[in-house]
Chain A
């Protein structure tokens, strides 16, 4: 265990106090419980308890065929559903050696990046609330997220549980006015990013709450298995879209955003900048989108895979979302393991929080942007 930097010198004897935070607490983003050991306002120890949302999903997916499992993937990662579905269908495609038509891949990329935008909007809003800007940032970001969800609803028919990707392509084609609608959404999104940036990034009160809070070094972040914006904020330029490109990310021009300090503020700034990069990616995808089929010509009614195993990972908004799938032949996975980015990121919470104030524990937890459904599965 590392030595704890202790900001206060005591003049008199004090006693540590155990505070139970959660499972029902508005700032824990779901049912998450932290037992804090506090000395006055200073956190001496954190014991996180997870598992309140455990639904046995990995086992459940073994009973579902490859089409039915997609609906389950939405429910693990309920803020970036397209990204979660993408990992799953790509794992199935790798096992079954399916060729995916070009148009389907481009649409997948557009939807995944739009989903990254909506997820990061959710983060900026919720994080603003955690940092004490109650309401303002939250409703601004929800207004922008709403525009994206409206587009998803027009495409897939549902606002939250899309179940739109299929092994081999997409469930059905996008509507005819897709290009116009994406342009509209991007216009409003650009304004929304500008709003969130202007509202928070330079705000002195916000900076006072976030700069140099919850720091983690690059080496520690790697050791804990952090991925995504949490790792990149510590200065490690690891982005699976660039380091091991999937879909057509290698054909596109975008930057990997890294922070320098590894603190809560950097994690916020990295995500805001990532949103700008997502807009860039979507614009490039829209230029390359051509009419064509969205499913392979020869797709059996019931997809069966040969025996084998595959680990496939993609860059979801919160980091590496991996699917390890074992097939013994047949129409359903023999074993499915979800590598959850939130679960790994959450492990670093204890290192980040010890030595900070109780009020900052909320901000640090918010900066990890956890989705408890994905942590517990």
Chain B
């Protein structure tokens, strides 16, 4: 009987505490800065072009092979009459969010800090009706940072 009363005491004490649950779709918990959703490409606002040079480092390091990258000559390079120092630039970029396992390795291996994990709730809520819609192309990957919607966190 003593043990039962003790158990009841615990439940009563918890009953008096403030609830910790959140009504999820209505209220979103603030996410920490380092939160990892899916990878995004970053936009160089100074030169108005992506940071990514299409060097394939992330594509080679990806454990699940969810990325495809193509490189091209940068039409905005100094030799072409532009003001960019990037000789090569990303031509096409696809990330299959259905395959990605969000391990952050692509961010670590990137030499140009051109890729980062989305740390907003929009990055987590990516449900679609067709799996093919989860394959993101270059404009989609660049859109959020280009619009200034995310503040990425890159290690070190």
Contact residues of A with B, CB < 8 Å?
A: 64, 67-72, 136, 140, 143, 146, 153-158, 161, 163, 171-172, 175, 195, 198-207
Q: CB distance B3 to A153 under 8 Å?
A: no
Q: CB distance A198 to B61 under 8 Å?
A: no
Question: Could you list 29 A-B pairs, sorted by A, with CB under 8 Å?
Answer: A67-B61, A67-B105, A69-B63, A70-B103, A71-B63, A71-B101, A72-B63, A140-B14, A154-B34, A156-B34, A156-B36, A157-B32, A157-B34, A157-B117, A157-B119, A157-B153, A158-B35, A163-B105, A172-B155, A175-B34, A195-B13, A195-B14, A199-B10, A199-B11, A201-B3, A202-B3, A204-B3, A204-B4, A206-B3
**Nearest-neighbor residue (CB-CB) of B35 within chain A:** A157
Q: Please measure, in the bound complex, the distance between the C-alpha atom of A366 and the C-alpha atom of B62, giving whole angstroms.
A: 37
Q: Please measure, in the bound complex, the distance between the C-alpha atom of A202 and the C-alpha atom of B7, giving whole angstroms.
A: 8
Could you say which residues of chain B place their CB within 8 Å of the CB of A146? Answer: 20
Q: CB distance B105 to A203 under 8 Å?
A: no
Q: Mark B47-61, 1 if CB is under 8 A from A, else 0.
A: 000000000000001
Q: Please measure, in the bound complex, the distance between the C-alpha atom of A143 and the C-alpha atom of B4, giving whole angstroms.
A: 22
Number of residues of chain B lying within 8 A (CB) of chain A: 29
Q: Does B6 contact A (CB under 8 A)?
A: yes
In the complex, which of the residues A68, A155, A161 contacts B102, with contact meaning CB atoms closer than 8 Å? A161
Q: CB distance B155 to A68 under 8 Å?
A: no
CB distance from A101 to the nearest CB of B (A): 15
Contact residues of B with A, CB < 8 Å?
A: 1-4, 6-7, 9-11, 13-14, 20, 32, 34-36, 61, 63, 101-105, 108, 117, 119, 153, 155-156
Could you say which residues of chain B place their CB within 8 Å of the CB of A195? Answer: 10, 13-14
**Does more than half of chain A's interface fall in helix, strand or loop, or is it mixed?**
helix
Could you say which residues of chain B place their CB within 8 Å of the CB of A72? Answer: 63
Q: CB distance A161 to B101 under 8 Å?
A: yes
Could you say which residues of chain A place their CB within 8 Å of the CB of B63? Answer: 64, 68-69, 71-72
**Nearest-neighbor residue (CB-CB) of A155 within chain B:** B34
Could you say which residues of chain B place their CB within 8 Å of the CB of A161? Answer: 101-103
Q: CB distance A143 to B20 under 8 Å?
A: yes
Could you say which residues of chain A place their CB within 8 Å of the CB of B4? Answer: 203-205
Q: Please measure, in the bound complex, the distance between the C-alpha atom of A175 and the C-alpha atom of B32, giving whole angstroms.
A: 11
Q: Please measure, in the bound complex, the distance between the C-alpha atom of A203 and the C-alpha atom of B101, giving whole angstroms.
A: 43
CB distance from B22 to the nearest CB of A (A): 11
Could you say which residues of chain A place their CB within 8 Å of the CB of B103? Answer: 68, 70-71, 161, 163
Q: Please measure, in the bound complex, the distance between the C-alpha atom of A280 and the C-alpha atom of B141, giving whole angstroms.
A: 46
In the complex, which of the residues A157, A175, A199, A206 contacts B104, with contact meaning CB atoms closer than 8 Å? A157
Q: Please measure, in the bound complex, the distance between the C-alpha atom of A168 and the C-alpha atom of B37, giving whole angstroms.
A: 26
Could you say which residues of chain A place their CB within 8 Å of the CB of B11? Answer: 136, 199
Q: Please measure, in the bound complex, the distance between the C-alpha atom of A158 and the C-alpha atom of B153, giving whole angstroms.
A: 13
Q: CB distance A157 to B36 under 8 Å?
A: yes
CB distance from A89 to the nearest CB of B (A): 14
Q: CB distance A199 to B7 under 8 Å?
A: yes
CB distance from A144 to the nearest CB of B (A): 10
Q: Please measure, in the bound complex, the distance between the C-alpha atom of A153 and the C-alpha atom of B11, giving whole angstroms.
A: 29
CB distance from A195 to the nearest CB of B (A): 5
**Nearest-neighbor residue (CB-CB) of B32 within chain A:** A154
CB distance from B17 to the nearest CB of A (A): 10
Q: Please measure, in the bound complex, the distance between the C-alpha atom of A140 and the C-alpha atom of B147, giving whole angstroms.
A: 42
Could you say which residues of chain B place their CB within 8 Å of the CB of A71? Answer: 63, 101, 103, 105
CB distance from A124 to the nearest CB of B (A): 13
Q: CB distance B3 to A158 under 8 Å?
A: no
Q: Please measure, in the bound complex, the distance between the C-alpha atom of A204 and the C-alpha atom of B1, giving whole angstroms.
A: 7
With contacts A161-B103, A203-B3 taken as known, whether A171 is within 8 angstroms of B155 at the C-beta atoms is yes
Q: CB distance A158 to B36 under 8 Å?
A: yes
